[in-house]
Amino acid sequence: MLLPSLPEEGQGPGAKASGKVFYNPAMSGSRTRSVLLLRHALEEGFLGEGAVYALDGLTASGLRARRWLNELPHEESERISATIVDLEEDALRWAEASHDEFPPNGGTLEAAKGDLRSVVLRSGRHWVDIDPYGSPMPFIDSAMQSMARSGVMEVSATDTAALTGSSSTALMRRYGARVSTDSLAHDSGMRVMLANFSRVAARHDRAIVPLLSVWDSHHLRVSFRVLKSVSTANELEENIGWRVRSPTKEEVVASIGSGLHHDSAVEYLPMHCMLPLSYPIDRTDPRVSGPMWVGSVGDRDAMSYMTEERALVSCGPEFSNDDPLGWDERRVEAERRRISRSVRHISEEAEVISSRHLVVVDDLAAWLESGAPPSPRRIVGVLNEAGHSAGVSRYGRPSFRTDAPWEDIVEAAMSIQPPI
């Protein structure tokens, strides 16, 4: 891969100024997950049987599209017709030079200089990746119009201060939502993104099905199928609602009644609950976040596919004495560890991704007044032994997901670390 000189220590983007080639090593995990998700979609037939028209919007160095072509098996990469889009001509020249000097495993690559919002509409797309500076909202409508009858869209957002509620005016202006600045703020931000994208899809008689949602360092990223379906688009509001922190008993009962909370005797009130969009909410209440997506934020099969073993087979470098880049064994092993970390816990969380409870253990310890937080792995073990589904979460704070009633979560936590 040809790139200009990288920043010291390999941290942050290679350049942000106009006329220079932007490259951000911190997004390498995102690119690894994109390769695996594309492979899963091809194997599952989400993208049809013929050529797959993929677009890497706001491509910068073009690395994401080149990884699609290089790291998929030959019979799959051969189907990819990739278009890379950027406003910077220098960036596209760098990408094309890399393509020429290091030919891909298969498929084709075309560079298009221009505004993503117009380039994306030049033909139908099976796969669209949107990874902008800041908010992705300006690009979603045109991208949604370009989608084939069945396709996949991946969208990143780096305006996390807005999406997590720290910049409430920007959040309302861009996404029309509120988010409580608690430990679930990043999960709420991803759900706000999904709610907005589902509304855009519905305007074009389409519906979305989330495949993967990840908070990774400086950005939030959601990946979802886009399906042409008027009937499903009409059911939009079923997946949009509210999250309430420190809910009242009345709110918990309403959540259970609407199917958004696991059955419970309401012996203890949970730390959070979801409510349907129709529930009468006081929009000035600081406990309330939304409107947001209240359905599952991922797909069990897609997430189960993302094992560390598969990531290493598809994307991991192998040491060679005649490596053209001159990597020694230590450098190769460090890169393999980085690739493993990029998918860690995703396949485990897949088994419980539809569960309503995402529990941050620091919050649970404070709620129980038990001192140090319990280990997510230990509490998952106790819940599994009790017959519940539970798994350590990929979320950016130590946490777990489970389908257990809140009373059983409390009992499991107290069995590990009783209140002081």
Kindly state whether residues 140 and 228 are assigned to the same domain. yes
Q: How many Å apart are CA 69 and CA 80, to the nearest integer?
A: 7
Kindly state whether residues 365 and 342 are assigned to the same domain. no
In-domain check, residue 123: yes
pTM: 0.92
Mean pLDDT of the chain: 90
CATH of the domain at 101: 3.40.50.150
Give the phi and the psi of residue 129 in degrees, each rounded to 5: -115, 125
In the predicted structure, residue 24 carries a pLDDT above the cut 70: no
In the predicted structure, residue 2 carries a pLDDT above the cut 70: no
Kindly state whether residues 146 and 12 are assigned to the same domain. yes
Kindly state whether residues 147 and 121 are assigned to the same domain. yes
Helix, strand, coil shares of the chain, percent, nearest 5, are 40, 20, 40
Position 342 confidence tier, pLDDT thresholds 50, 70, 90: very high
Phi-psi domain of 60 (left: phi exceeds 0; alpha: psi -120 through 50; beta: other): left
Structure token digits, residue 146 = 């370009």
Kindly state whether residues 63 and 168 are assigned to the same domain. yes
Q: Which of these ranges, 15-24, 207-216, 242-251, 337-346, has the smallest mean pLDDT?
A: 15-24
Position 19 confidence tier, pLDDT thresholds 50, 70, 90: very low
Residue 218, domain extent = 8-238
In the predicted structure, residue 5 carries a pLDDT above the cut 70: no
In the predicted structure, residue 10 carries a pLDDT above the cut 50: no
In the predicted structure, residue 14 carries a pLDDT above the cut 80: no
If you search the block for the tokens 């009345």, which residue do you land on?
Answer: 250
In-domain check, residue 289: no
For the chain, give me the number of helices (H) and strands (E)?
Answer: 18, 13
Strand ranges (E), 304-386? 357-360
Nearest to 409 by CA among 420, 419, 386, 393: 386
Measure CA 8 to chain center. 28
Number of structural domains (the chain) is 3
Which helix (H) or strand (E) segment holds residue 384: the answer is helix 376-385
Nearest to 61 by CA among 103, 39, 92: 92
Structure token digits, residue 399 = 């946490």
Which helix (H) or strand (E) segment holds residue 362: the answer is helix 361-368
Kindly state whether residues 189 and 53 are assigned to the same domain. yes
Kindly state whether residues 115 and 20 are assigned to the same domain. yes
Phi-psi domain of 325 (left: phi exceeds 0; alpha: psi -120 through 50; beta: other): alpha
Kindly state whether residues 312 and 370 are assigned to the same domain. no
Structure token digits, residue 28 = 């390498």
Kindly state whether residues 179 and 317 are assigned to the same domain. no
From 184, 209, 238, the end of a domain falls on 238
In-domain check, residue 297: no
Residues 369-384: pLDDT tens digits?
888 899 999 999 999 9
In-domain check, residue 247: no
Position 143 confidence tier, pLDDT thresholds 50, 70, 90: very high
Residues 154-198: pLDDT tens digits?
999 999 999 999 999 999 999 999 999 999 999 999 999 999 999
From 348, 382, 412, the end of a domain falls on 348
Kindly state whether residues 313 and 363 are assigned to the same domain. no
In-domain check, residue 279: no
Tell me if 91 sits within 8 A of 60, measured CB to CB: yes
Q: How many Å apart are CA 235 and CA 83, to the nearest integer?
A: 33
Supply the Cα-derived Rg of the chain in whole angstroms.
Answer: 22
In-domain check, residue 176: yes
What is the secondary structure of 121-166 as a DSSP string? GGS-EEEEEE--SS--HHHHHHHHHHEEEEEEEEEEE--HHHHTTS
- From residue 269, alpha-carbon distances to 245, 252, 286 in Å are 10, 7, 18
In-domain check, residue 130: yes
The pLDDT, as a whole number, for residue 6 is: 46
The pLDDT, as a whole number, for residue 139 is: 97
In-domain check, residue 96: yes
Kindly state whether residues 342 and 206 are assigned to the same domain. no
- The amino acid sitting at 264 is S
Residues 70-101: pLDDT tens digits?
999 999 999 999 999 999 888 888 888 888 88
- The amino acid sitting at 224 is F
The pLDDT, as a whole number, for residue 23 is: 56
Residues 310-329: pLDDT tens digits?
999 999 888 777 766 677 88
Structure token digits, residue 229 = 């379906």
Kindly state whether residues 126 and 182 are assigned to the same domain. yes
From 314, 331, 348, the end of a domain falls on 348
CATH of the domain at 405: 3.30.56.70
Give the phi and the psi of residue 401 in degrees, each rounded to 5: -115, 150
